[in-house]
A and B are shown apart, each in its own frame.
Chain A
Amino acid sequence: MRSEIRTGRISLWQRRFRAMVLMSLGALVLSACGASTVVVEGTYPSPNIPPLPMTLGVYYSDALRAHVYTERTDAGKDEYLVNSGGSHVELFNTVLPAMFQQVVVLDDPAMANERGVDAVFIPNIDEFQLGMPQKTRLDSYEVWVKYNMRLTAPDGGYIADWVMTAYGKTPQATFGSAEGGINDAAVAAMRDLASNFSISFTSVPDVRDWLQPRLQ
């Protein structure tokens, strides 16, 4: 009797073990087939700078809101999808209210006149690059982003159009995941953008020329 019970237990454990092995293998096969998605998540501090006495309209294009960078393997297969659109919107929504007395988010730049804004700011991502430790042979994840910043009059007229770059890196942790490393490097790059943008905004030549009569 005792022998039968023991046999029953062993077969139950064997069945559970087999199921676990099969499930693990299945998960491994599935994960090996698709690319990993990294939705960039981070917190951004508000800049300590005196706000400009003006109302700024900001328009986030669909391209910015839904920006996804695809990192491919040497064989051309999708490896990582870095979704930073939401985080970029969050970043600008934190930084701009500290830089301007009032900020209005516009669903359409054509609404600028009726919303009574002094200018419309339109940020866009031109290029996004990712440096993975296994490819760069460095002990860190790196993110480099090139932005196109545009400032227009409420009627759409030109005020300024300039390029900004941001760089962020994070050391490769011994037991850290690649997804975590990519996220931290992207957050560092966006923080770099925020610091550079908030300090240098009034020094952009065309912006400075436009601001000067308004600040007197």
Chain B
Amino acid sequence: MDYVPILILMALGLLLGGTVLIVSTLLGPKLPNKRKNQPFECGVPPVGDTRQRFSVRFYLVAILFLLFDVEAIFFFPFAVTFRKFLEINSFIIWEMGFFVGILLVGYWYVLKKGALEWE
């Protein structure tokens, strides 16, 4: 029952956004023109086909980002509760150091294998 305002907010948001889009589609003028239909390239006329192969480096960087981002996510619960654990003993710092150490080994492997080379 406490969460009904959130439901109402979601519904109103969908309603408003949907209404604006639908009304503008129905009532707006439709005058397509060759230059207006080109893909937007910050004012520069587009050159060539959009469907070209792009390098696998992007994928590698994205996957590595994902992995280290998940590591960062594991830091959050640690960061929130570690002061309370420090009152008992310092084990939690060593534990987190071990976790980071394992991931540093992985990072060193990635670095040396050249997965982060951009060229």
Pair from one complex: no
Which positions in B face A, CB cutoff 8 Å? none
